[in-house]
């Protein structure tokens, strides 16, 4: 078995316009000061990372790695969550999703999709140059508005949506295959890949593509009441990335899974800082270790109550305390009897 790497932190929720969060050097120094040894890098924060340069230049990638190494850090994965979202957008979401695209593409859905696909292909090349083996993203969504089957869905609607999703993603997956990098979809509400059943449907349309892998984030499963431990048993061979994020679900007489359109702080299901929610991380780290997960444990901070800097400061020791040094011998080896094959036959009565 292998040991999980960490602690690491996803920088997307921390990148900003003020120091130390407005430069790679500043945010690296900050992350290291809290005890992190890895960073998951957003590709939509130009003050931290230039995706186009990374895709084209080994020298730039060496510069990024060298800067991080000064602080004892390394890149765990690149993230294209926002660009992945734009690979497939239902028209109902065109206006809110336009904010994820460059200004010149807004109001031009087809051009926006082509740009997003190009961004993913750049991320494949950049990941390869950085020596990475996994990449974090979203799938996008065409079927999401039809999640609940009322009004009744016409036959073939969901099948057609997933066929189109597969058509768009297959060349991207092929580009990542050429780069030797796994695409790790964060299974997430708002994406067509929102649970295990939808992920399996997607695998079917991409013909079980070996690079169509998973980013495991138990917080989303708490909010939809999915068994997040059984999920690991089912899909461990495809889990290649891990967001360590907490959540709680406390249904009331007024709302449950759907949240009643309430703001985050008033929802029955809420994201919380590590240790403040209901996720059984001891069981999760044990199961992932048991199944041989050897990737990174990456804090994704999202909480409707706690300040992000407090969440980040508490996150590194929380993850470190859950890392398991894998045993190199059985706990009861001290009691081994030393019985050989002949003695075994005698014990079974088969030596007659």
d(CA 145, CA 257): 16
292-331, pLDDT tens digit by residue? 999 999 999 999 999 999 999 999 999 999 999 988 877 6
The number of domains in the chain is 1
Residue 138: domain span: 5-348
Predicted pLDDT of residue 347: 85
Q: Please give the angle made by the CA atoms of 153, 155 and 159, to the nearest 5 degrees.
A: 95
How do beta strands 182-186 and 239-244 pair? unpaired
Helix 157-179 to helix 109-130 angle (10° resolution) is 30
88-146, pLDDT tens digit by residue? 999 999 999 999 999 999 999 999 999 999 999 999 999 999 999 999 999 999 999 99
Residues 6+ apart with CB under 8 A from 257: 223, 224, 225, 249, 251, 268, 269
Are the beta carbons of 36 and 296 closer than 8 angstroms?
no
Q: Which residue has the higher pLDDT, 351 or 242?
A: 242
> What percentage of the chain has pLDDT greater than the value 70?
98
176-222, pLDDT tens digit by residue? 999 999 999 999 999 999 999 999 999 999 999 999 999 999 999 99
Residue 275 in 3-state DSSP?
coil
253-266, pLDDT tens digit by residue? 999 999 999 999 99
Q: Measure CA of the first residue to CA of the last residue in the chain; give whole Å.
A: 40
Place 346 in a pLDDT band, splitting at 50, 70 and 90: confident
- Token readout for 288 is 């992932």
How do beta strands 269-272 and 246-249 pair? antiparallel
CATH number at residue 315: 3.20.20.150
pLDDT at 252 > cutoff 80: yes
Query: How many CA atoms, within 13 angstroms, populate the side-chain half-sphere of residue 21?
Result: 14
Is the omega angle on the peptide bond into residue 166 within 30 degrees of 0, that is, cis?
Answer: no
Q: Burial of 68 by CB count in 10 Å (0-12 exposed, 13-18 middle, 19+ buried)?
A: buried
d(CA 57, CA 45): 18
Predicted pLDDT of residue 344: 84
- Look-up of token digits 């109902």: 92
Are the beta carbons of 166 and 206 closer than 8 angstroms?
yes
Predicted pLDDT of residue 337: 72
Average confidence (pLDDT) over 327-345: 76
pLDDT at 1 > cutoff 60: no
| Average pLDDT for the chain | 96
């Amino acid at each position: 078995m292998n040991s999980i790497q960490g602690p690491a932190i996803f920088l997307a929720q921390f990148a900003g316009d003020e120091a130390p969060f407005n430069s790679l050097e500043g945010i690296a120094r900050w992350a290291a000061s809290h005890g992190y040894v890895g960073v998951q890098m957003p590709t939509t924060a130009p003050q931290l990372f230039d995706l186009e340069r990374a895709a084209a230049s080994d020298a730039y990638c060496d510069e990024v790695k060298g800067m991080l190494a000064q602080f004892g850090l390394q890149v765990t994965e690149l993230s294209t969550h926002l660009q992945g979202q734009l690979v497939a957008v239902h028209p109902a979401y065109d206006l809110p999703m336009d904010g994820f695209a460059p200004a010149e593409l807004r109001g031009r859905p087809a051009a926006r999709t082509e740009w997003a696909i190009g961004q993913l292909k750049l991320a494949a090349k950049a990941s390869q140059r950085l020596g990475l083996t996994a990449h974090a993203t979203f799938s996008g969504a065409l079927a999401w508005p039809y999640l609940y089957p009322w009004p009744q869905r016409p036959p073939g609607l969901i099948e057609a949506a997933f066929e189109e999703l597969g058509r768009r993603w297959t060349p991207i997956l092929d580009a990542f295959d050429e780069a030797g990098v796994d695409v790790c979809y964060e299974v997430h509400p708002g994406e067509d890949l929102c649970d295990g059943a939808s992920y399996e449907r997607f695998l079917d349309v991409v013909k079980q593509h070996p690079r169509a892998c998973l980013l495991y984030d138990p917080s989303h499963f708490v909010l939809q009441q999915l068994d997040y431990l059984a999920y690991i048993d089912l899909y461990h061979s495809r889990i290649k990335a891990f967001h360590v994020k907490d959540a709680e679900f406390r249904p009331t007489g007024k709302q449950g899974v759907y949240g009643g359109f309430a703001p985050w702080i008033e929802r029955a299901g809420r994201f919380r800082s590590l240790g403040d929610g209901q996720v059984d991380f001891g069981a999760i780290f044990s199961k992932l270790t048991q199944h041989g997960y050897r990737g990174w444990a990456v804090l994704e901070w999202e909480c409707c109550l706690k300040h992000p800097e407090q969440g980040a400061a508490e996150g590194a020791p929380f993850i470190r305390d859950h890392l398991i040094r894998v045993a190199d011998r059985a706990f009861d080896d001290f009691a081994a009897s030393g019985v050989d094959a002949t003695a075994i036959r005698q014990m079974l009565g088969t030596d007659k």
